[in-house]
Amino acid sequence: MTPASTLQIILLCFLGVNPIFSFSPLDTRYTKKKKNHVSLSATASNKSNNKEHSPYLQDMKNKRAYPQQTPHAGRHFRPSHPNQSKLSQRFNRFKRHPQRTKTKRFMEGWYYRLTIPESNVSFAFIFSIEDPFESELSLSCVQVMGPNDEYVVQAEPSHEKFWAFAHSQSFGCVFDYNADAMVKDDKIGKNEVLEVLDPDDFEKYVKAGFQMLPTRLQGKVKGHDGSLGGVLENQGIPRSCDFDVQITPLSGWGDDDQDLEKSRQKSTAGWLASYSVFEPHWQVTLADARATGYATWNGTRYDFENVPFYAEKNWGGSFPCKWYWVQCNSFQGFTSPDGSNRLSLTAGGGIRKVPFGGTEDLGMVCIHYNGVFYEAVPWTGDMEWEVDPWGSWKFSAKCTSGKRLFEVDVVATCEEDGVVLRAPTQDLGMVYFCRDSFFANVELSLYELIWDKDKKEYVRGNAILENVKSIERTGAVEIGGGPYWNPWKGKSKMKSFLKSLVKLPYLFGK
């Protein structure tokens, strides 16, 4: 055990988090006896032998699907489990990810974005589960944001059709099976099997639903216009989106390394994200990737090959009460199909809950540039922001601790109105709570920082990247929560004790 890990355990105990009983989440194989869902399996049906995807059709502990797989790739929610033993229930509160009870709200959501630069079109696929137990706010939901900042939504007020792996980014939900499935496979037709499907079987049997494997995203959304009405069936104008996307990972959250043994990817919010310390949690799972496939949006098909792709996830009681976000991996001159020349920006922040009550304002700017990770986070430096109620996002950040010292400036602007999306809230569930657009212009500059002995401070050195611009109108921007009556100017103010905690691995060279 390293000195850092020993100190981490001691300090976790001080926070009231028991690290000894940090059991892995419950395996996804169990038997259910409610509503005809007789099994939730971590193995695929054997109806086809797809060699390309067969390694990913099982939830393999301690084995990454690809070198860039990040921490928290697996699920954090615990599926409804009526047969859980009394002993397991007794020790539940000591576990690393305790099962949520009816007295505490819980949501987990996944966000995937692909950009088609040549046609100035982007898609975002947003999947979420709320309250994976019986409650009035239980929900399985998919939202797809498409061309012209429009979006479609489909949801069911239930959690029991939603499955997910504990150790890799694989999950899915089938809302409905097609007529052929009911005729050719009686078991599937009765919706009795809740499991990961081979991609060919998903295409063959599923009428409405979605499925994510580590490098394959499929969906058939038969919902309605998300900007009108509610989220449930028959609550808006019918809309649809089908998609099938093959993903080539390039950057997770850290330096690139194609060697599985050497690759060390990071938690976006630091190592304390593995415990119930902050609320909510955030993890970028793919800062950069390439996507090939198609998306059919209300009858119009878009084919794409090796286009920029991005992925992240959130989990916790609800989204922050106020936040901002900018993302772009479609910069001019940095979208090579093979990823040999690439650049990705992720910037965001907001107000989050901290232990013992209270909140703190935080922000970060992180860049992946040709396999090198530049991380400006509250525990390694400073970050300031100025975010308008809509239309302008300005960030300035410095990293003054770690193996790379640098300064970064980011400006994002958006003339489009954007679209109001839904997000999980503490008391009302999935409601309109944020505004997004894919039509932003983003510009960034990245400089070395050097120590000035005379001034006794860090000063700007050589430019690593200067005034690099996104491809016209391909950046993603967001504001959420509020209120946003006036421009929000702020500076990261992480509590000193928590800052020291999160910084531990950096002090020990981790």
Look-up of token digits 């137990």: 133
CA distance 205 to 195: 13
Residues whose CB falls within 8 Å of the CB of residue 370, separated by 6 or more in sequence, listed in order: 340, 341, 342, 343
Asked if the model's pLDDT at residue 111 lies above 70, the reply is yes
Distances (CA, A) of 479 to 313, 319, 321: 17, 12, 11
Domain-by-domain residue ranges, the chain? 3-507
Asked if the model's pLDDT at residue 449 lies above 50, the reply is yes
CA distance 316 to 2: 29
In this prediction, residue 2 carries a pLDDT of: 52
Mean pLDDT (whole number) for 192-220: 90
In this prediction, residue 48 carries a pLDDT of: 42
Residues whose CB falls within 8 Å of the CB of residue 435, separated by 6 or more in sequence, listed in order: 390, 418, 419, 420, 421, 478, 479, 480
CA distance 428 to 423: 10
Pairing of strands 39-41, 193-195: parallel
In this prediction, residue 232 carries a pLDDT of: 85
CA distance 401 to 504: 12
Q: What is the pLDDT of residues 354-402, one digit of tens each?
A: 877 788 999 999 999 999 999 999 999 999 999 999 999 999 999 999 8
Asked if the model's pLDDT at residue 37 lies above 80, the reply is no
* Averaged pLDDT score across all residues of the chain: 83
Please state which of the ranges 82-96, 237-251, 314-328, 483-497 shows the lowest mean pLDDT.
Answer: 82-96
Q: What is the pLDDT of residues 216-251, one digit of tens each?
A: 999 999 999 988 877 888 788 999 999 999 999 999
Please state which of the ranges 133-137, 194-198, 260-264, 407-411 shows the lowest mean pLDDT.
Answer: 260-264
Q: What is the pLDDT of residues 57-98, one digit of tens each?
A: 888 888 899 999 999 999 988 754 333 445 555 555 556 555
Q: What is the pLDDT of residues 16-33, one digit of tens each?
A: 444 433 323 323 322 233
In this prediction, residue 500 carries a pLDDT of: 79
